[in-house]
Amino acid sequence: MKNTSVSDCGKREDTIAAIATGMSGSGIGIVRISGGSAIEIADKVYRNKKNEKVLKEYDTHTIHYGFAVDKKGNIIDEVMVSVMKAPASYTAEDTVEINCHGGVMVMRKVLELVMEAGARVAQPGEFTKRAFLNGRIDLSEAEAVMDLIHAKNEFALQSSVRQLKGSVSVIVRELREKLLHEIAFIEAALDDPEHFDLESEGYGEVLYSLLDKTAASLHHLIQSSDDGKILSEGIRTAIIGKPNAGKSSLLNRLVGEERAIVTDIAGTTRDILEETVSLDGIPFRIMDTAGIRSTDDVIEKIGVDRAKDAAEAADLVLYVIDASVPLDENDRAVLEMIKDKNTIILLNKSDLPPILTEEDIRYVASHLSGNGKIIRTSMKEGEGIDLFLTSVKEMFFHGGITYNDEVYITNMRHKEALSEAYDSILQVQKSIENKMPEDFYTIDMMSAYASLGRIIGEEVGDDLVDEIFSKFCMGK
């Protein structure tokens, strides 16, 4: 049984939703809903001035003032809602767009309400895919549409794996493992009933209390996801540079700033220590802090391998160059490597007489794409830190980079998967309460297993059959 991801797309009447604008920058954003139940779903979260839910009565292509409300009727935001009925919409499906005004947090809340009302999170590129499949996009654009779906999914896949906290992935894996073991136990007994007997052991009760624990773990994870805690938010930042260029001084500066809030020192699954530092509200996850601080860095060269790893994983590369020493081959190799990254070059030791030539500086600059900047700093004096923070803000909150959007959407998908798993577990418990036969349990347990697999990017495949044969001695 492969995780039937294709049929997952048909869940919840196949109505999808997402934030259609970036979530940073201006406070105005659009939550877009598309699919057969779009209007019905929007009606659950929208009230007009007279507190009526009336969207379905409105004509197509009209826009309406009103409020986004939660389940209890509390107003979340002032909104403008546009209604576009099929087929005259971008996707050629019924589409509702909720224009929110209250900033990022409010927009997230509105999207969550929409999900609770029955939509599911759109897959990367899904609005465009639907538009194409429904004939709204010219056939000649097919290549572009395929590229977009491919690119967006690759990005989402990378970022979702990268963003998942090590501790969360450990919990999800453990939950899956336990579930699979129980499913295999039941299925082995169903497959070879003369060999294994379920009832004699009061198995239903044992399973019920086990599922209590599973449900509690899932509930906790869902709550964490509300606070954004299942993902490591923050800009993944790599500090690289030759020994004595000032890496650890930079780290100490960032962490030691009076305005810095250091929230977390944790070992991840990869055993790379990270520190999360918030400076002026900008969250940084500084990678490999242990490596930066280690003083026995006897290797003369920069550590090109480490730079490469960091460059691959990081959202932001801080390349510290000692301005009092000329560039060498290693510097050039590293610059080549990071030229497509968001990079800030810190020309450190501005308090010392600069040795770097104009040519050196030009060489460095030529390796910075639109995403790069050179700043002169003195860690000793604390110079350049403000300029550095300003550059980061420009880079991550005004430009084309939608780092936080991606984190957020990933979070929404994870939450959706967790909720589905949770619902499935409750359904199993209900089946036990209703004294249903055991073969009904595994149907929902398998769904929970598949949902959890989506979080860590794993299919179901032949997991069950493998587990049955490896753990239970089957057959005659």
Partner 1 sequence: MPEIREQVDICVVGAGHAGCEAALACARLGLETVIFTVSVDSIALMPCNPNVGGTSKGHLVREVDALGGEMGKNIDKTFIQSKMLNKSKGPAVHSLRAQADKADYSREMRKVLENQEHLTIKQAEVCELITEKVENPNPSEQLNPSDQSSLSDQSNLLGQSNSLGQSNLLGQSNPPRQAEEPELREPSESRERYRILGLKTHTGAVYECKAVVLCTGTYLKARCLCGDSITYTGPNGLQAASHLSDSLRKLGITLRRFKTGTPARMDGRTLDYSRMEEQHGDEKVVPFSFSTNPDDVQIDQVSCWLTYTNEKTHEIIRANLDRSPIYAGIIEGTGPRYCPSIEDKVVKFADKDRHQVFIEPEGLHTNEMYVGGMSSSMPEDVQLAMYRTVPGLEHCKIVRNAYAIEYDCIDARQLYPSLEFRKIKGLFSGGQFNGSSGYEEAAAQGLIAGINAAMSVLGKESLVLDRSQAYIGVLIDDLVTKESLEPYRMMTSRAEYRLLLRQDNADLRLRETGYRIGLVPQEVYEATLHKKELIDAEIARLKNTIVGASHEIQTFLEARGSAALKTGTSLAELICRPELNYELLAGIDEKRPSLPSDVIEQVEIEIKYEGYIDRQRRQVEQFKKMEKKRIPDEIDYDKIPSLRIEARQKLSTYRPVSVGQASRISGVSPADISVLLVYLEREKGKY
Contact between 200 and partner 1 per CB under 8 A: no
The first and second tokens of residue 147, run together, are 């590229």
Contact between 437 and partner 1 per CB under 8 A: yes
**Minimum CB separation from partner 1 for residue 404, in Å?**
23
Contact between 29 and partner 1 per CB under 8 A: no
Rounding to the nearest 10 degrees, give the CA dihedral for residues 36, 40, 46, 49. Answer: 120
When the beta carbons of 148 and 273 are compared against partner 1, the nearer one is: 148
Give, as ranges, the residues between 161 and 180 that touch partner 1 (CB under 8 A). Answer: none
- With b for 16 or more beta-carbon neighbours within 10 A and e for fewer, the 27-48 pattern comes to eebbbbbbbebbbbbbbbbbbe
The CA distances from residue 404 to 139, 396, 465, in Å, are 33, 9, 40
Three-class DSSP category at 308? helix
DSSP letter at 4 equals -
- Binding-residue total with partner 1 (CB under 8 A): 56
- Identify the residue among 18, 76, 84, 145 touching partner 1 (CB under 8 A): 145
**Minimum CB separation from partner 1 for residue 354, in Å?**
48
- Identify the residue among 143, 271, 300, 358 touching partner 1 (CB under 8 A): 143
- DSSP 3-state percent helix, strand, coil across the chain (nearest 5): 50, 20, 35
- Identify the residue among 93, 406, 416, 438 touching partner 1 (CB under 8 A): 438
Place of tokens 């036990």: 432
**Minimum CB separation from partner 1 for residue 429, in Å?**
15
Give the binding range for partner 1 (CB under 8 A) out of 152-160, 168-176, 268-276, 304-312: 152-160
- Identify the residue among 63, 146, 265, 365 touching partner 1 (CB under 8 A): 146
Give, as ranges, the residues between 78 and 137 that touch partner 1 (CB under 8 A). Answer: 123-126, 129, 132-133
Closest C-alpha among 251, 347, 332 to residue 295: 251
Give, as ranges, the residues between 6 and 25 that touch partner 1 (CB under 8 A). Answer: 6-10
Contact between 299 and partner 1 per CB under 8 A: no
Contact between 199 and partner 1 per CB under 8 A: yes
Contact between 265 and partner 1 per CB under 8 A: no
When the beta carbons of 208 and 440 are compared against partner 1, the nearer one is: 440
Q: What is the DSSP string of 257-273?
A: STT-EEEEEEE-TT--E
Give the binding range for partner 1 (CB under 8 A) out of 35-43, 148-156, 207-215, 381-389: 148-156
Give the binding range for partner 1 (CB under 8 A) out of 31-39, 162-170, 229-237, 430-438: 430-438
Give the binding range for partner 1 (CB under 8 A) out of 57-65, 153-161, 307-315, 351-359: 153-161
- With b for 16 or more beta-carbon neighbours within 10 A and e for fewer, the 433-451 pattern comes to eeeeebebbbebbbbbbbb
- Identify the residue among 59, 194, 271, 305 touching partner 1 (CB under 8 A): 194
Other Cβ atoms within 10 Å of 464 Cβ, number: 18
Distance CA 275, CA 133 (A): 45
The CA distances from residue 420 to 126, 181, 451, in Å, are 20, 20, 7
The CA distances from residue 303 to 313, 314, 349, 396, in Å, are 16, 16, 21, 27
The first and second tokens of residue 180, run together, are 């699979």
Q: Which residues bind partner 1 (CB under 8 A)?
A: 1-2, 4-10, 123-126, 129, 132-133, 139, 142-143, 145-147, 149-150, 153-154, 157, 187, 190-195, 199, 434-440, 442-443, 459, 461-462, 464-465, 468-470, 473-476
